[in-house]
């Protein structure tokens, strides 16, 4: 699973992950200890 997008809703950040084999997508909440700046670099935004 690779992060491909994110969205901010209120005070929460959700991250869209996509399976690199089958393409299935799944949204997860960003954990408090996750690095949002690193996530943005991975996504390419």
Q: Rounded to whole angstroms, how far apart are CA atoms 10 and 29?
A: 12
Domain that holds residue 16: 2-43
**Cα separations in angstroms, 9 against 6, 17, 30, 38, 41:** 10, 17, 11, 19, 20
pLDDT of residue 44: 86
pLDDT of residue 20: 95
Kindly indicate the confidence band of residue 36, based on its pLDDT and cuts at 50, 70 and 90.
confident
Q: Which pLDDT tens digit goes with each residue over 6-17?
A: 999 999 999 999
Determine the length of the chain: 45
pLDDT of residue 28: 95
pLDDT of residue 45: 60
Number of domains in the chain: 1
Q: Which pLDDT tens digit goes with each residue over 15-33?
A: 999 999 999 999 999 998 9
């Amino acid at each position: 699973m690779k992060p491909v997008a994110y969205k901010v809703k209120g005070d929460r950040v959700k991250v869209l992950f996509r399976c690199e084999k089958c393409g299935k997508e799944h949204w997860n909440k960003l954990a408090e200890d996750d690095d949002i700046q690193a996530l943005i670099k991975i996504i390419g935004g």
